[in-house]
Chain A
């Protein structure tokens, strides 16, 4: 393979490594999490813009380096080097096929390490780390062969948020630079346009898609779904009317609150005494060591004499962080009390301990306080009528899972039945409900619920790309056959 190309590729890797280390030195990455030195959000945008420029200039720079190293070639008579403007160099670099090749190679490498790291971080986190960042640092895992000796080895590579924009830029600019309309190439703009659309759609999905779930026992019903990865902090005003008023904050609000959060309609303010993304909560009686007194004086934490400790966040597949906080409420009349709130204080999940709701009274009204899995409310109530788990005769190999559901529409007062089973989800209220799991001897069913406004994009774009690829393939077969005939 072309060694010059290879060296340029290495140069890009090196450049990205350099940028990551600079950004790390400037402590810009601190927000991104405790263990992954990756650029996040706004800085990543800045850096990727920077990298666009660097990548555009690299081929020019390398050519200059090569030429200065071989002065004989550079000074061939009649071939005087024209001065290249920065804009022109950027245009040339961005539209070059060398850049395409590097970006494709970079994508292959990124996807490979992104897959490899799923073993340690689980799919959700690995996806976030590799594809939703501008740079990634892969660390040689301890568990691999010679892990102890090789764990110093770190590989920096451009991430999804860098490769994606560059690919889009490369495709668009190259299109303007090279493309001449002709019937023989009619598939090419289709393919490239489709890829741009696909990448944009993936970005849209990455930003907007939320995964929820819903556990129902047979005969139970619910009008909300809960998020897999997000938590919310809520104060619920039980009020005097039939409906509750729910005041909800993303838990990030607790983390970044500078101590106090409030809402104009609430008669009290909330002091965040302590917050942890992941925590261990256990009764003091079960603890082996001595722990100091805990600051909470009301609710479950006080009644059951819990001890709470911050833990490093987990990224394992299927595990969820125990997001917890200690909050103090104070009204006009002074302190109301201090509570421990945590997303494991749940009332619904099967095979888990049952916790009561934490509620209190203030100025004659009843309130509830909690950290819980972020909820989305449905325009209707869903009831599980029956869950079925069929097996092949004489075996435990599952043959089918299905949930017979009933949808109660409160506004019209009507209801209808529907069946959710493998490969046949229910689409309802902008959400899609999939049969996902079951528990308690086939009496409880879990539905995975997905909200993704961009779900149609990959359909359209892959249709366009497939059309383009097929056209191009058929055309070249045709041309090839004709050339054979004439030769």
Chain B
């Protein structure tokens, strides 16, 4: 920093300010606060998918599944957060049916709805509901084997899934309109229950009331089968000992004569919401908060507010932007202000890394699991590992190379993670066989760090070849630097992939009875190990020159991408034409891009600028 001249100091200041502003942006409210305090609402705990989480998480993940994005934009172009839409869906399902949230990209499916407007991609439930029979009819005809479906069939299946998700969400807090709104329904039930208690057993009027109650019973029973949330904590007048859904709670109420106060409070909240009565809504939310803190096990729900803040902060999105910035600064350092800009890039990368680390730590805290539990978190971890490695390498060389490669890799892997998050809750529960924190904490991160290092070597190779062949040649010193970086990182990749694979073998031996089973994922890891060994032997035997080593490292990218994603597509994808789904397409695009860079190394001769300098 001391060596910076005035202009450089100003630039550094501006860059840090940009980082700060990006950060501040995440703290800003997602959209103008409406009449009703939806922040308090989105912080209420619910049980879904086997764990307790804030309503906020459910709102975001289901909005992603239904719309492919978190934000909701209405017909007039006003932007809202996922929570505002979700609150409307849960508290005023009738009005929410007009929100255009269903995203349909396939023109034939749009045609199915009688629409010809190619511009429109979002549809409301009310628009869809007119064509439910058509959609269901078409859906029943699609290929039952997902791998064999055409893109039209896939689009239909996705639409059907979105409709089911939507359907299972709408009536989780208030029942469908039976007699007007929920408060009216509840008061009719309460009156019927009171009447029944007063009336004589066997009398005509008693029979009428009993019949009415039986009708309610049937409704609630049907309802309870279609709800994906369990928002009602244990205890209360119904004496449940676990979290349960609205249908179950109301069914029990019909038997013991008393409606759960939380259910009643949600009914009143819904009424206040529909009347846009902010005061009443806040009062009901306060009541709900009190009821939840009385009944929910404080230990179980202690992480719910934190998870909401974590969602709101979206640390990985932030890191993604910051890595992009770091990459640009590092690339500029090759044009002017060499070491100074490289130092700035290093600092920016460090800021991104700090937030990235915080995000991973937050996930570990919420889930009480080691960092990598599914494909999504592996993407986050791959970027993290690469940036961590490069913080050390860049500090040593300070030429912008490692910073560029790592921030590019960090950016790319976070993008991949972002798209993977569209499949649902990223903090899902672990399948039984994976339920072993010891192996999750040892085998998985080790293998994933191996992926990081293999990718890092490949990205360094890309920087080497592109700079050398397309952007004016590499200075000799820098070329040597990259060569030793790639060598060191490949050694590292070999070490970690091998140890990770061995740990995986031990785990497999413990749980399935074989150390090695030639399973696709195992084979993928083995291929990385073999390829790293090959690169190292080629270097030791001086069989190929520096460019060859770089090309081999880039080939390593292809192999690693195959191990990471390709093997996951095998089971479902490779059977058929259906495998041209988007993930497969991107994998192929990545492979082609890598082959392109490799062939640049062959086609364009090495520049000899190194001799001049």
Residues of A within 8 A of B (CB): 1-2, 5, 97-98, 100-101, 104-105, 107-108, 111-112, 114-116, 118-119, 123, 126-127, 130-131, 143-145, 202, 205, 209, 211, 391-395, 397-401, 422-425, 432, 434, 436, 448-450, 452, 455, 458-459, 462, 465-466, 469-470, 472-473, 476, 480
B4 → A minimal CB distance (Å): 25
Provide the residues of chain A in CB contact with B520, threshold 8 Å: 115, 118
Q: Please determine whether B514 and A450 come into contact, CB atoms closer than 8 angstroms.
A: yes
Q: Determine which of B230, B491, B513, B576 lies in contact with A425 in the assembled complex, contact meaning CB atoms within 8 Å.
A: B513
**Cross-chain pairs A/B with CB under 8 angstroms, 5 sampled:** A115-B567, A401-B432, A470-B495, A470-B499, A480-B488
Q: Please determine whether B541 and A97 come into contact, CB atoms closer than 8 angstroms.
A: yes
Q: Please determine whether A395 and B50 come into contact, CB atoms closer than 8 angstroms.
A: yes
Provide the residues of chain B in CB contact with A470, threshold 8 Å: 495, 499
A218 → B minimal CB distance (Å): 19
A418 → B minimal CB distance (Å): 16
A453 → B minimal CB distance (Å): 13
Chain B, residues 456-483, CB within 8 Å of chain A (1/0): the string is 0000000000000000000000000000
Provide the residues of chain B in CB contact with A425, threshold 8 Å: 510-511, 513
Separation of A172 and B103 alpha carbons in the complex (Å)? 62
Q: Determine which of A401, A452, A462 lies in contact with B505 in the assembled complex, contact meaning CB atoms within 8 Å.
A: A462
Q: Please determine whether A394 and B50 come into contact, CB atoms closer than 8 angstroms.
A: yes
Q: Please determine whether A108 and B541 come into contact, CB atoms closer than 8 angstroms.
A: no
Q: Please determine whether B570 and A119 come into contact, CB atoms closer than 8 angstroms.
A: yes
Contacts A115-B523, A425-B511; A143 near B505 (Cβ below 8 A): no
Q: Determine which of A1, A97, A111 lies in contact with B526 in the assembled complex, contact meaning CB atoms within 8 Å.
A: A111
Besides A144-B574, A145-B577, A398-B431, 4 other A-B contacts (C-beta < 8 A):
A97-B543, A101-B541, A105-B534, A469-B498
Q: Please determine whether B533 and A466 come into contact, CB atoms closer than 8 angstroms.
A: no
Q: Which 8 A-B pairs have the closest CB atoms?
A: A392-B50, A97-B541, A450-B513, A462-B502, A104-B534, A458-B515, A395-B50, A398-B432
Separation of A112 and B562 alpha carbons in the complex (Å)? 9
Provide the residues of chain A in CB contact with B499, threshold 8 Å: 466, 469-470
Separation of A423 and B442 alpha carbons in the complex (Å)? 15
Contacts A98-B543, A119-B570, A123-B518; A395 near B49 (Cβ below 8 A): yes
Q: Decide if B354 is an interface residue (CB 8 Å cutoff).
A: no
Spot the interface stretch: B116-124, B362-370, B433-441. B433-441
Q: Please determine whether A127 and B537 come into contact, CB atoms closer than 8 angstroms.
A: no
Q: Determine which of B516, B534, B580 lies in contact with A101 in the assembled complex, contact meaning CB atoms within 8 Å.
A: B534
Q: Please determine whether B537 and A104 come into contact, CB atoms closer than 8 angstroms.
A: yes
Number of residues of chain B lying within 8 A (CB) of chain A: 67
Q: Decide if B509 is an interface residue (CB 8 Å cutoff).
A: yes
Provide the residues of chain A in CB contact with B567, threshold 8 Å: 115
Chain B, residues 542-556, CB within 8 Å of chain A (1/0): the string is 011000100110000
Separation of A143 and B570 alpha carbons in the complex (Å)? 13
Q: Please determine whether B429 and A395 come into contact, CB atoms closer than 8 angstroms.
A: yes
Provide the residues of chain B in CB contact with A401, threshold 8 Å: 432
Q: Decide if B559 is an interface residue (CB 8 Å cutoff).
A: yes
Contacts A393-B47, A394-B50, A462-B502; A423 near B513 (Cβ below 8 A): no
B570 → A minimal CB distance (Å): 6
Kindly report which residue of chain B lies nearest to residue A102, judged by CB atoms: B534
Q: Please determine whether B513 and A448 come into contact, CB atoms closer than 8 angstroms.
A: yes
A27 → B minimal CB distance (Å): 29
Separation of A127 and B148 alpha carbons in the complex (Å)? 26
Contacts A401-B432, A423-B433; A205 near B515 (Cβ below 8 A): yes
Separation of A15 and B511 alpha carbons in the complex (Å)? 41
Q: Determine which of B439, B495, B513, B519 lies in contact with A123 in the assembled complex, contact meaning CB atoms within 8 Å.
A: B519
Contacts A97-B543, A395-B49, A398-B432; A458 near B513 (Cβ below 8 A): no
Q: Decide if B524 is an interface residue (CB 8 Å cutoff).
A: yes
A100 → B minimal CB distance (Å): 5
Q: Determine which of B242, B432, B439, B495 lies in contact with A473 in the assembled complex, contact meaning CB atoms within 8 Å.
A: B495
Provide the residues of chain B in CB contact with A395, threshold 8 Å: 49-50, 429
Separation of A104 and B574 alpha carbons in the complex (Å)? 26
Provide the residues of chain A in CB contact with B50, threshold 8 Å: 391-395, 397, 399
Provide the residues of chain B in CB contact with A108, threshold 8 Å: 527, 530-531, 534, 559
Q: Please determine whether A434 and B513 come into contact, CB atoms closer than 8 angstroms.
A: yes
Provide the residues of chain A in CB contact with B517, threshold 8 Å: 123, 127
Contacts A118-B570, A400-B432, A422-B436; A434 near B512 (Cβ below 8 A): yes
Q: Please determine whether A397 and B429 come into contact, CB atoms closer than 8 angstroms.
A: yes
Provide the residues of chain A in CB contact with B498, threshold 8 Å: 462, 465-466, 469
Contacts A5-B543, A107-B530, A108-B559; A399 near B432 (Cβ below 8 A): yes
Q: Decide if B43 is an interface residue (CB 8 Å cutoff).
A: no
Contacts A393-B50, A399-B429, A422-B433; A452 near B514 (Cβ below 8 A): yes
Q: Please determine whether A394 and B433 come into contact, CB atoms closer than 8 angstroms.
A: no
Q: Decide if B494 is an interface residue (CB 8 Å cutoff).
A: yes
Contacts A101-B538, A466-B498; A116 near B574 (Cβ below 8 A): yes
B180 → A minimal CB distance (Å): 30
Q: Please determine whether B530 and A111 come into contact, CB atoms closer than 8 angstroms.
A: yes
Separation of A330 and B27 alpha carbons in the complex (Å)? 89
B228-285 residues with Cβ-Cβ distance < 8 A to A are 230, 242-243, 245
Provide the residues of chain B in CB contact with A397, threshold 8 Å: 49-50, 428-429, 431
Contacts A104-B530, A143-B575; A423 near B439 (Cβ below 8 A): yes
Q: Decide if B56 is an interface residue (CB 8 Å cutoff).
A: no
Separation of A474 and B180 alpha carbons in the complex (Å)? 74
Provide the residues of chain A in CB contact with B537, threshold 8 Å: 97, 100-101, 104
Q: Determine which of B512, B551, B571 lies in contact with A448 in the assembled complex, contact meaning CB atoms within 8 Å.
A: B512
Kindly report which residue of chain A lies nearest to residue B562, judged by CB atoms: A112
Q: Decide if B51 is an interface residue (CB 8 Å cutoff).
A: yes
Separation of A248 and B555 alpha carbons in the complex (Å)? 53
Separation of A209 and B533 alpha carbons in the complex (Å)? 29
Separation of A104 and B245 alpha carbons in the complex (Å)? 57
Kindly report which residue of chain B lies nearest to residue A465, judged by CB atoms: B498
Q: Please determine whether B541 and A98 come into contact, CB atoms closer than 8 angstroms.
A: yes
Contacts A397-B431, A400-B435; A1 near B544 (Cβ below 8 A): yes
Separation of A127 and B49 alpha carbons in the complex (Å)? 37
Q: Please determine whether B429 and A392 come into contact, CB atoms closer than 8 angstroms.
A: yes
Q: Please determine whether A97 and B491 come into contact, CB atoms closer than 8 angstroms.
A: no
Separation of A422 and B507 alpha carbons in the complex (Å)? 11
Q: Please determine whether B243 and A393 come into contact, CB atoms closer than 8 angstroms.
A: yes
Separation of A97 and B537 alpha carbons in the complex (Å)? 7
Q: Decide if B492 is an interface residue (CB 8 Å cutoff).
A: yes
Separation of A238 and B584 alpha carbons in the complex (Å)? 60
Separation of A98 and B548 alpha carbons in the complex (Å)? 14
Provide the residues of chain A in CB contact with B336, threshold 8 Å: none
Provide the residues of chain A in CB contact with B245, threshold 8 Å: 394
Q: Please determine whether A211 and B513 come into contact, CB atoms closer than 8 angstroms.
A: yes
B569 → A minimal CB distance (Å): 10
Q: Please determine whether A473 and B491 come into contact, CB atoms closer than 8 angstroms.
A: yes
Q: Decide if B48 is an interface residue (CB 8 Å cutoff).
A: yes
Separation of A372 and B531 alpha carbons in the complex (Å)? 44
Contacts A101-B534, A448-B513; A111 near B429 (Cβ below 8 A): no
Kindly report which residue of chain A lies nearest to residue B540, judged by CB atoms: A97
Provide the residues of chain B in CB contact with A472, threshold 8 Å: 491
Q: Decide if B388 is an interface residue (CB 8 Å cutoff).
A: no
Q: Decide if B506 is an interface residue (CB 8 Å cutoff).
A: yes
Q: Please determine whether A434 and B526 come into contact, CB atoms closer than 8 angstroms.
A: no
Provide the residues of chain A in CB contact with B515, threshold 8 Å: 205, 455, 458-459
Provide the residues of chain A in CB contact with B576, threshold 8 Å: 143
Kindly report which residue of chain A lies nearest to residue B551, judged by CB atoms: A1
Kindly report which residue of chain B lies nearest to residue A96, judged by CB atoms: B541
Provide the residues of chain B in CB contact with A434, threshold 8 Å: 511-513
Separation of A397 and B551 alpha carbons in the complex (Å)? 44
Kindly report which residue of chain A lies nearest to residue B492, judged by CB atoms: A473
Provide the residues of chain B in CB contact with A450, threshold 8 Å: 513-514
A231 → B minimal CB distance (Å): 21
Kindly report which residue of chain B lies nearest to residue A128, judged by CB atoms: B518
B406-440 residues with Cβ-Cβ distance < 8 A to A are 428-429, 431-433, 435-436, 439
Separation of A46 and B534 alpha carbons in the complex (Å)? 28
Contacts A115-B523, A466-B502, A470-B495; A458 near B435 (Cβ below 8 A): no
